[in-house]
């Protein structure tokens, strides 16, 4: 694989993981302090669960990119 493409994919995946980690932390804080805005607490918790799943997926993608670099 082209090193430039690999590096760009790695940087993009790492950036996405970082943003999702910040989203999870923010949503956890909202749940903790019951800051729901115009939606229910259950809806915030559902968004948090979905964001955690997305974070797991992007961590997996990042691990595949890094493993590909070692081949």
Please tell me the predicted confidence (pLDDT) of residue 61: 97
Chunked mean pLDDT (size 10), the chain, 71 residues: 89 98 98 96 98 98 90 64
Listed in sequence order, the residues at least 6 apart from 32 whose beta carbon sits closer than 8 Å to its beta carbon are: none
Cα 49 to Cα 3, 7, 41: the distances in Å are 35, 30, 12
Give the separation between CA 56 and CA 58, rounded to whole angstroms. 6
Please tell me the predicted confidence (pLDDT) of residue 36: 93
Per the CB < 8 A criterion, the answer to whether 69 and 10 are in contact is: yes
**Residue 54 in tokens:** 């997305």
Please tell me the predicted confidence (pLDDT) of residue 71: 64
**Residue 1 in tokens:** 């694989």
Please tell me the predicted confidence (pLDDT) of residue 2: 83
């Amino acid at each position: 694989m082209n090193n430039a493409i690999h590096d760009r994919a790695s940087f993009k995946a790492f950036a996405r993981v970082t943003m999702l980690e910040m989203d999870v932390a923010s949503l956890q804080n909202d749940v903790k302090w019951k800051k729901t805005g115009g939606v229910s607490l259950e809806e915030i918790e559902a968004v948090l669960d979905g964001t955690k799943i997305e974070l797991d997926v992007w961590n997996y993608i990042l691990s595949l990119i890094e493993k590909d670099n070692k081949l």
